[in-house]
Structure 1
Amino acid sequence: MNRVLVIAGTDSSGGAGLSRDTAMATTLGCEVVPVVTAVTVQTNQALQAIHPVPPQIISAQIRAAFDDKRTAPRAVKIGMIGSAEAARHLADTLPEGLPIVLDPVLKSSSGGTLMSLDSLTPLLRRVTLLTPNLEESARLSGLTPMLRNTENQCISTQEPPQDDLVLFRRQAQIIQAKGVAAVLIKGGHADGDCSVDHLFSPQAPQGHRAYAAPRLPLQKRGTGCSLATALACSLAAGASLDQACTEAKAAVSAWLAQ
């Protein structure tokens, strides 16, 4: 069984964070090696309190996870970090050569602020794939978010209107200039019948690939955690970035449809 190092906070509601990461990984036949960055007090409606784990303890957890080479994780998923100091410790402690998926959780889906933009900076040069939603991509790039999707039919080769694609590409370029290898801009917060994620990577044809799925008439917490964990599980199994994005999109869609 492939093992994935998941660095994230706990969520007392069970809707996101390490609980959701573990549930998705288990569904995919992948084992989670957890590293706790913070203990949060949350309900489905509100973030009530955060207790950060000291950065030195975060680093110690990571070193312990890789102590036995025979059972060492084969990929890393990072969610909530908590502080710039913790991010620096992660950048210094994580082994080289592993695929790292970073879900830039700037705030919780229940409304509380979890991370600042500055807290991401030390990690970006280590990241294989960054997975911002539309609002996060706008904040990280400094460009206005595009929250509309005008297509009426969802097909696997879905492309956004040209103006939207130009904006997404520019956002990705600005983020990649900060050191990130690839960016997957998630379209779950847009409108329309189709949820389309956009991968910008040197590995993609012409640097871009879109992944579409029908938009479901429901809201669930933990979608970002689930997608990033599914991506890490696929990468741990040796999938290409394109294959990992395809598999992760399908896994999250299946979970939402349950």
Structure 2
Amino acid sequence: MTQIMIIGGTDSSGGAGLTRDTATAHALGVSVLPVVTAVTAQTDRAVVDMALMPPDLIEAQISASFTGGGPSCVKIGMLGTSAIAQVVAEALADCRVPVVLDPVLASTSGKSLLAGGLPEALIERADLITPNLVEAARLTGKEDAGIPDQARALLDRGAGAVLIKGGHGQGRDAVDHLFDQQRHYTFTAPRLAKGKRGTGCTLATAIACSLAQGKALDVACGEAKRFVHGWLSA
């Protein structure tokens, strides 16, 4: 069975993080090699407490997961601190599979989940980075810029491609924008009245599953968009 490595935090409510990632991968016929960066105590409304894993333990988990065949893609979620993010970047420096980086900066309730920002080494290692509109503004410092300018800023910092998600926008449709060095794709779905926690986790993991199965990036993003819309509609 196709395997992906998922690097992220646990969520005791089951709504996001590694639990949500694993459920998504299972639905898509892919198995998961989990690497735990943090353990959180959460409800559907707030992060109550959390503990970060020691960086050397995180590195050891990644190293162990690459033995015996290893994953066909890596998806990165919650990291907790820039120091942990740097350790992850170094641990993945020599891996030869696609890396999808979901930049988890804060919980839905607003609690910071990444102290110190993302190091350049991790952005440069990402074959795809998947910020929402709020995260794209924070990562680039271009709050008043348009989506193409924000995407270009991340591409110029070394990301292989950028998917800026439109779920936090306005209008009848939610439009995601994928940019690489040459092309711009859009993925559109009707905006739904209610969302769910874990939407970003679900989308990035679904993309990673498709990449692990050998699909092109634009195809993977389109399939993931449809998968998430179906999950939210259900």
Aligned partners of 2:102 and 2:129 also within 8 Å: yes
Aligned-pair CA distance for 1:85 = 1.6
Q: Which moved more, 1:134-143 or 1:116-125?
A: 116-125
Partner of 2:167: 188
Question: What letter corresponds to residue 229 of structure 2 in structure 1?
Answer: S
Distance, in Å, in 1 between the alignment partners of 2:118 and 2:37 is: 13
Aligned-pair CA distance for 1:96 = 2.4
Q: Which moved more, 1:136-145 or 1:212-221?
A: 136-145
Gap change, CA 1:218 and 1:34, over 3 Å in 2: same
Aligned-pair CA distance for 1:122 = 2.8
- RMSD (Å), alpha carbons: 1.3
Distance, in Å, in 1 between the alignment partners of 2:169 and 2:49 is: 29
Aligned partners of 2:21 and 2:205 also within 8 Å: yes
Per the normalisation by structure 2, the TM-score is 0.96
Partner of 1:233: 209
Partner of 2:88: 90
* Cα deviations by residue, 1:44-88 (Å, 9 ceiling, x for unpaired): 11111110000100010011111112xx11000000011122112
Question: What letter corresponds to residue 129 of structure 1 in structure 2?
Answer: L
Partner of 2:104: 105
Matching of residues 1-258 of structure 1 within 5 Å: 1-69=1-69, 72-94=70-92, 95-116=94-115, 118-144=117-143, 167-202=146-181, 207-258=183-234
Question: What letter corresponds to residue 36 of structure 1 in structure 2?
Answer: V
Q: Please, which runs of 5 or more residues in structure 1 have no aligned partner? A: 146-165
Aligned-pair CA distance for 1:118 = 2.5
Gap change, CA 1:108 and 1:89, over 3 Å in 2: same
Distance, in Å, in 2 between the alignment partners of 1:5 and 1:222 is: 18
- SS for the counterpart of 2:146 is helix
Aligned partners of 1:117 and 1:140 also within 8 Å: no
Aligned-pair CA distance for 1:97 = 1.7
Aligned residues: 233
Aligned-pair CA distance for 1:117 = 5.3
Distance, in Å, in 2 between the alignment partners of 1:44 and 1:21 is: 17
Percent identity of the aligned residues?
52
Per the normalisation by structure 1, the TM-score is 0.87
- SS for the counterpart of 2:33 is strand
Aligned partners of 2:81 and 2:116 also within 8 Å: no
Gap change, CA 1:191 and 1:218, over 3 Å in 2: same
Distance, in Å, in 1 between the alignment partners of 2:77 and 2:56 is: 18
Aligned partners of 1:130 and 1:184 also within 8 Å: yes
Aligned partners of 2:155 and 2:180 also within 8 Å: no
Q: Please, which runs of 5 or more residues in structure 2 have no aligned partner? A: none
Which structure is larger by alpha-carbon Rg, 1 or 2? 1
Aligned-pair CA distance for 1:104 = 0.4
Distance, in Å, in 2 between the alignment partners of 1:121 and 1:185 is: 18
